[in-house]
Structure 1
Amino acid sequence: MSTTTQELWVARDNIDQTKLATVKLGPIKEDEVLCRIDSFGLSANNVTYAVLGQSYRYFDFFPTSDAKYANVPIWGMATVTDSNSSAVKVGERVYGYFPIAQHHVLKVKAAANGSKEGWFYVPREHLPEDRKVYNQYFRASADPFYDPRHEGEMLLFRPLFWTSFFLADYLKENKYYGAKTVIISSASSKTAFCFAFLAQASGIRTIGLTSPSSVPFVKSLGYYDSIYTYDQISSIPKDSTVLYVDVSGSKALATDVFNHIGASNIRRSVSVGMSNAQEAKGTFPGETEIFFAPTWIKKRQDELRDQLPRLQAKAWKEAMDRVDNWVKLSNGHGPASVEKLWKTMVNGRTAPDVGYVMSLWKTDAGSKL
């Protein structure tokens, strides 16, 4: 049976330009399942996927029929509505990587151990090996990080938190490159404050950079030892060695920090996101490293093996115990709502204390939220 679905595409050369596409999905083939995408988190993380869509091949996960446009990946919850796979049953709910769409077909790679452990893989041989982390889909019935009471929060924070978790792990393994202080841009963004939460627990001093309007929210989090607005950079003390963590993607801001602190006092500069796509232009100062989480995740999976899930479970529980104090959830339904929010996010105009859980379905009839 064929299915007609809607997808929200973005122009490859201008992610602020969108197109609502109607796509016909043919009958599913052997080992394929049809998923109804119930809901998904939408944040600056997805904007980063789009900005890096071509260079990091995020646009290659879900190809479109129009070479001018691309699908932006999201992390969502879906319900299996049809299955030609012995490993996945109709009615199962799964969490994983999808396009912004109403339906999507997944080809399931049969794996007996995965079936028992509550997950399955989708083979994507055209992508590099280090993208494998995006190919794992978790069954809600056996997902250790799924809690129906916090489904919305999970959709929003799970990809962001793990980026922050593995960045903190990476920097801790490298002893923060000898720095005594970490300066974090876009301090109100979810990736930034999740990282600050983890870094502060390691004992390193944290300084947050944010806009004046976000100062009250950033202070309320309690994860920054000091907070400065972007026009107060010249007031930051220069009495400590510094690690600069860029979450904004702003090269101009990074240059201001380097000029004030002094290149000799900056032990390392790491970029991990682009909370404002409009500022992600130019060149970073110094030898700024782009942190690509999947590469480090694969390394730590090989090194820590069974120990890693226990460390993740502990960190995730600590985060979810606090999540109610972090943001208010806002649910949006329908293509117009998703498209409007996307354009707002691309231009960096969303409130820091709101988290968005969206669906292309016009009502919540397709959602379990």
Structure 2
Amino acid sequence: MPLGVDPAQSFEVRQDDLAKVQWREPRGDDGLAKGEADVAIRRFALTANNITYARLGSRIPGLGFGYWEFFPAGSGWGSVPVWGLADVVASRHPNLTEGTTLFGFFPMATHLRMTVGAVSGATVLEESLHRRSLPATYNQYLIANRGLALGPEAMDAYMVLRPSFSLSFCCATYLSEQRWFGCRRILISSASSKAALGLAMLLAGEGLEVVGLTSRQRVAQVAARAVHDRVLPYEEITALASDEPTVFVDIANATDVTRAVHDHLGSGLRTSIAAGFTHGSDVSEALPGPRRALFMAPAHMQRLQDLWGKNGYWQRFTEAWQHFHALIAKGTAFVHTSGPAGVERVYREVLEGRVPNDTAHLLSIR
């Protein structure tokens, strides 16, 4: 299938207003250079994790890159990165054949042209010039039938859950390495999110009190997952004992919630970690208590792979992932939507936080 057959190829958002969107016409097919490949994006997951990518689209202090850099769009516009499956439809790389299915990092689009580097075992390296300085974890693609070999339902769960669980896994490992910063209480915002649920699951059995914060209407549903010791609505932050040394892992980065936690806990808050950004990317506000620390999972993934070796990292990750998949997948409805109108509708639902935490979306533009 040649590049550019679909009239609405690429979904883009305004960098300064994520609610404004456009569909960009495909570019013409100017032929493949040696080492290039065209892939047709089959389907992808869209979750709050992808909104975090958009919030961090432009470079911010401490990050060193911005997510708009992966798939450049028109001036002022951005392509939201997603995790999904794509089929190689044309290739001029000797070790990547047409018909190969890849799992990895893609734009919300029908096609992507890739510059393929090494193909080793199940791993395909993307080495387009503009991506070489970006975190390596996003430039590694898996040949699905070699590196994953999952059935359709398990593959849907993997697309939805693996990216957010990477944050859970790396953050739990970091907290353990730091010996919980001398605290026995871990407070996690956006407790209904997959990243927060994964983190709470991984902290169980460590002798910690794990407290989740969420909206009032989601308290019962989150508590039913039975991974937190307590689940509180945001309005009841003051119910927490303020003299208990606490680590705050902020998944939402909602200004009012973050300030309420800092105001109430004060000196009892030993560490405040900004780990998710579904409500904004600003971490510069001066607050009572410790200065907020920015936690970026890609940097920690690379650090742990250097420490344990790639095989060691993925072995540990996969063992933890299997437990998380068993916990979450059975209670999650995986909803498939296709076509530009459906994609835009679901995007707005995710952006506005209107997706129930027991629902996950898989999208296809075609």
Shift in CA distance, 2/315, structure 1 to aligned 2, threshold 3 Å: closer
Distance 2:111 2:302 in 1: 29
Structure 1 equivalent of residue 71 of structure 2: 62
Partner of 2:285: 283
In structure 2, do the counterparts of structure 1 residues 348 and 167 end up closer, same or farther at CA, with 3 Å as the change threshold? same
Q: Does 1:85 align with 2:85?
A: no
- CA RMSD, Structure 1 to Structure 2 (Å): 1.9
- Matching of residues 53-132 of structure 1 within 5 Å: 53-55=57-59, 56-64=65-73, 66-111=74-119, 114=120, 117-127=121-131, 129=133, 131-132=135-136
Offset at 1:139? 0.5
Q: Distance in 2 between matches of 1:230 and 1:255?
A: 11
Provide the C-alpha distance between the structure 2 equivalents of 1:218 and 1:227, rounded to a whole number of angstroms. Answer: 7
Residue ranges of structure 2 left out of the alignment (5+ in a row): 60-64
**Counterpart-to-counterpart distance in 2, 1:284 and 1:322:** 38
Corresponding residue for 2:275? Answer: 272
Aligned-pair distance for 1:194? 1.1
> Aligned partners of 2:326 and 2:359: how far apart in 1?
18
- Give the distance between the partners of 2:334 and 2:284, measured in 1 at CA: 34
The yes-or-no answer on 1:342 pairing with 2:342 is: no
Counterpart contact for 1:250–1:281, Cα < 8 Å? no
Q: Which residue of 2 aligns with 1:327?
A: 332
Q: What SS is found at the alignment partner of 1:121?
A: strand
Q: Residue 314 of structure 1 aligns with which residue? A: 319
Cα shift at 1:70: 1.2
The partner residue of 1:9 within 4, 9, 12 is 12
1:29/1:127 CA distance change after superposition, 3 Å: closer
The yes-or-no answer on 1:168 pairing with 2:180 is no
Q: 1:335 to 1:320 in 2, by over 3 A?
A: same
- Is the contact made by 1:33 and 1:108 (CA closer than 8 Å) also made in structure 2? yes
- Separation in 2, partners of 1:254, 1:271: 9
Matched length = 354
Where 1:108 maps in the other structure, the secondary structure is: strand
User: Does the alignment pair 1:183 with 2:187?
Assistant: yes
2:198 is the counterpart of 1:194? yes
| Residues 247, 270 of structure 2: 8 Å contact kept | yes
Letter in 1 for 2:67: Y
Task: Answer yes or no: is the 8 Å Cα contact 2:70–2:130 preserved in 1.
Answer: no
Moved more, 193-202 or 144-153: 144-153
Measure the CA separation in 2 of the matches of 1:191 and 1:145.
24
3-state SS of 1:319 partner: helix
Cα 1:133/1:150, change in 2 over 3 Å: same
Check the 8 A contact 1:251/1:282 in 2, yes or no: no
Query: 1:269·1:287 contact (CA, 8 Å) conserved in 2?
Result: yes
> What is the SS of the residue equivalent to 2:244?
coil
Percent identity for Structure 1 against Structure 2:
27
Secondary structure, in 3 states, of the residue corresponding to 1:227? strand
Q: In structure 2, what residue type is equivalent to 1:328?
A: A
* C-alpha separation in 2, matches of 1:244 and 1:131: 26
Cα distance in structure 2, aligned partners of 1:341 and 1:347 = 10
Contact residue 104 and residue 142 of structure 2 kept, 8 A = yes
Post-superposition Cα deviations, 1:77-104, rounded to whole Å, max 9, x if no partner, equal: 1111111111111111110010000111
Letter matched to residue 199 of structure 1: L
Structure 1 residues 2 and 246, CA gap change in structure 2 (3 angstroms) = closer
What SS is found at the alignment partner of 1:274?
Answer: coil
The 3-state SS of whatever aligns with 2:315 is helix
Deviation at 1:132, TM superposition (A): 0.9
SS in 1 for 2:361: strand
Instruction: Indicate the SS of the match to 2:232.
Output: strand
Alignment-derived partner of residue 364 in structure 1: none
Q: TM-score, normalized by length of structure 1?
A: 0.91
In 2: Cα distance, 1:332 partner to 1:150 partner: 17
Give the whole-Å Cα distance in 2 for the aligned partners of 1:107 and 1:124.
5
Alpha-carbon contact 1:180-1:241 (below 8 Å) kept: yes
Give SS of 1:339's match: helix
Contact 1:118 1:139 in 2 (8 A): yes
How big is the shift at 1:130?
5.7
| Alignment match, 1:367 | none
Q: Distance in 1 between matches of 2:228 and 2:300?
A: 25
Report how far residue 15 of structure 1 moved: 1.0
Q: Secondary structure at the match of 2:271?
A: strand
Tell me if the contact between 1:199 and 1:206 (Cα under 8 Å) persists in the aligned partners. yes
